[in-house]
Amino acid sequence: MPPPSVPTPGLTAPAPPEAPLPRAPAGTALYIHVPFCVVKCPYCDFFSVEAEGQDLSGTVGALLHEARARAPQAPKTVFIGGGTPSLLPESLLVELLDGLDELTGFRSSAVEVTAECNPESLDPDKAKLLTRLGVTRLSVGVQSLNPDTLRFLGRAHGPEEALRALDAARGTDADVGADMIYACPDQSSEEWEKDLSRVLEFEPQHLSAYNLTIEEGTLFHVQRERGELTTAPEEVELACFEQTREVAEAAGLGRYEVSNYARPGHECQHNLTYWANGAYVGLGPGAVSKVGLARAGNPRSLAPYLRWVQDEGHATLWREQLDPLHRLGETWWLGLRRSAGVDPMEALLAAGLDGTVDDPAPGLAQELEQQGLLENVAGRWRLTDRGWPLADGVARKFLALGN
């Protein structure tokens, strides 16, 4: 989950500007950010740097140093994201995962351990190594099987590499997830359906299919502001959205979140923690942590991260205390993205409130029900068929509850 928009002063300070959050209790979800990529994709707003010339070994050492001070014991889930974790040499993957297990015992505690992989750095040997090191879920960044679309997205792989990577992941005991992007300029809904169907022939347990979104701070955002980039028409976006559900369900994958599909029992448990507004600890540059009503983040810059972790054991650049009503709004915002929807009492408890509080959320939900966007089923509010394509806009209305 990307960090909130916050100022980033103090990157040259000799020590982190903020104190770290209290150590999270055992069982808290753990995220590890490996910030290196072959190339920086023009649509990506997560912190990453091109790997060439960077100190990969020193960064792995810093991740373990930070884990020693901040990682929870016995995490229930572990997610190694980026960036491109599979880009690390095998020796550094061994160092990172063996070291992490020594510090947290995740191999005995975690019900799920995910590693993000890109096709250009995932072969059968690397895939098998990751599973031997404790990874139970390989998430492959396919994005597209169309050469022109891959070039537009700035990807470092071609269609055949993507298919070989899926095959390499399938050759392990791990669950396989495929990440894809639709509604790119000049991409028709027919092309999208063809790509998606081909990927699902590999029978992945999980599919993440995202509408191309132009995020502030990315190269695509700059190009759009200059008038150099146009996005796909709304009718193409909607057609691709509906095709994704139809094709995925026909292949045995059900939608459990607006952009995520899985075979029964193979939903991403780590991301479900995010969508339930649960606690998590993030390690690495740009990583965010949330424990209780407090949230904090590391710098989106490698140099201060390495320096601060080496000297202080943490790299807390910013920290904020969340108002309970703000957290309530976030709980609805995140929860409505799930097929399971939101139970109002569960949302209150997750926000640190109780049933004696005047809860503004159900009133807003009823307004959206009158517009045909939400429905109440057995006490849970969830999106209607009409509401699903508008999920982001509908869910974001609840963020105003904290204002």
For the cut 60, the answer to whether the pLDDT of residue 3 exceeds it is no
Same fold, 29-275 and 324-402: no
The pLDDT tens digits for 280-314 are 999 999 999 999 889 999 999 999 999 999 999 99
How far, in Å, are 130, 143, 174, 224, 313 from residue 127 at the CA level? 5, 19, 9, 37, 31
Q: Where residue 14 falls among pLDDT bands split at 50, 70, 90?
A: confident
For residue 5, the model assigns a pLDDT of 37
Strand, helix or coil for residue 251: coil
**May I ask the CATH architecture of the domain 29-275?**
Alpha-Beta Barrel (3.20)
d(CA 264, CA 22): 36
Q: What angle do CA 67, 316, 285 make, to 5 degrees?
A: 65
DSSP letters spanning 162-204:
HHHHHHHHHTSSSEEEEEEEE--TT--HHHHHHHHHHHHTT--
Fold of 324-402: Arc Repressor Mutant, subunit A (1.10.10)
CB atoms within 10 A of CB 379: 11
- Higher-scoring residue by pLDDT: 169, 8: 169
pLDDT, tens digit, 9 for 90 and up, residues 125-178: 999 999 999 999 999 999 999 999 999 999 999 999 999 999 999 999 999 999
pTM for the structure as a whole: 0.94
Mean pLDDT of the 359-379 span: 97
Delimit the domains of the chain by residue range.
29-275, 324-402
3-state secondary structure of 29: strand
Q: What would the two tokens of residue 348 be?
A: 């209150």
| 208 band by pLDDT with thresholds 50, 70 and 90 | very high
Specify the DSSP element, H or E, that contains 78.
Answer: strand 77-82
pLDDT given at position 289: 98
Alpha carbon of residue 52 to chain centroid? 24
- What does pLDDT average to over the chain? 95
Q: What is the mean pLDDT of residues 16-41?
A: 96
CA distance 234 to 63: 42
DSSP string, 352-385: T--TTS---HHHHHHHHHHTTSEEEETTEEEE-T
